[in-house]
Amino acid sequence: MAKAQTTEKSIDMYMPDHRLELVPSPNWVRVFFGGETIANSRRVMLRRETGRLPLYFFPQEDVRMELLSDQTSKGEAIFWSVQVGERSAKDAAWSYADPKGPAADLRGYIAFEWAAMDAWFEEDEEVYVHARDPFKRIDIIHSSRHVRVVVAGETVAESHRPVLLFEGNYPTRYYLPKMDVRLDVLVPSETHTQCPYKGVASYFSVKVGDTLVKDLAWYYPFPVPESSKIKNLVCFFNERVDALYVDGELMPKPKTQWS
């Protein structure tokens, strides 16, 4: 759920078991910074690479090169700062200096550090965190399973109408209607995270008696259209609640970056 970074500081294309795949994308992609369109292309290349998030590369002809400055070379990459008026994002644009092997087709293409830019759009929809991978699948399915969530020894949510979200190797997430959650234990949080496949999430801490568990639950008030089934439903971190039961069976706590 945390906002991911896509900074490229070193590039090793020949690690054991390393895979790099370049996929021409039909999407119209635009990048904005400082009120200006930095890149605008209908012929981007999507890089899918072991250990890195999906990333768009733009033909140099579709990049506002007059807004790139302070070119430097670092290892196998060339970096530029993005400069618009008084605003600057250091080393936020880069390209392979001399791409070879599977990256050879990226000669003359430029990428941007996702988090350093103000906004990214695929067609007319804003995209968060990183480029969406067309080969990644999310399934969101209505269910009648009995889900019960326990925090600090008390049941804080119980539902027979959860919505189950399956996303790759992540744990199954159980999104519950607010009517089936004890709203009296939810404390609004200022935390927000972004997901390219779901949108912007808002968080709740959970307070049971004297126990406060920070940012234990989240919901999407305005999910992207493809994930509309989870709109305003509440989900608890399986890995951080005391217990999560599904049809009476205690679920094992997964080990993830949010444990």
pLDDT for residue 169: 83
Q: Is residue 58 part of a domain?
A: yes
How many separate domains does the chain show?
2
pLDDT for residue 9: 36
pLDDT for residue 7: 40
Cβ contacts of 200-208, under 8 Å, gap ≥ 24: 200/128, 201/1, 204/234, 206/151, 206/156, 206/236, 208/151, 208/152, 208/153, 208/154, 208/156
- On whether both 38 and 112 belong to a single domain, the answer is yes
- On whether both 53 and 115 belong to a single domain, the answer is yes
- pLDDT per residue of the chain (259 residues) written in tens, 0 to 9: 433 333 443 334 444 567 889 999 989 999 999 999 999 999 999 999 888 899 999 999 999 999 999 999 988 899 999 999 999 999 999 999 999 888 999 999 999 999 999 999 999 999 999 999 988 889 999 999 999 999 999 999 999 999 999 998 889 999 999 999 999 999 999 999 999 999 999 999 999 999 999 999 999 999 999 999 999 999 999 999 999 999 999 999 998 888 8
Domain, as residue range, for 91: 20-127
Q: Which of 100, 130, 127 shows the shortest CA–CA distance to 112?
A: 130
CATH number for the domain spanning 97: value is: 2.170.150.40
Q: Is residue 76 part of a domain?
A: yes
Alpha helices in the chain (DSSP H): none
- On whether both 120 and 146 belong to a single domain, the answer is no
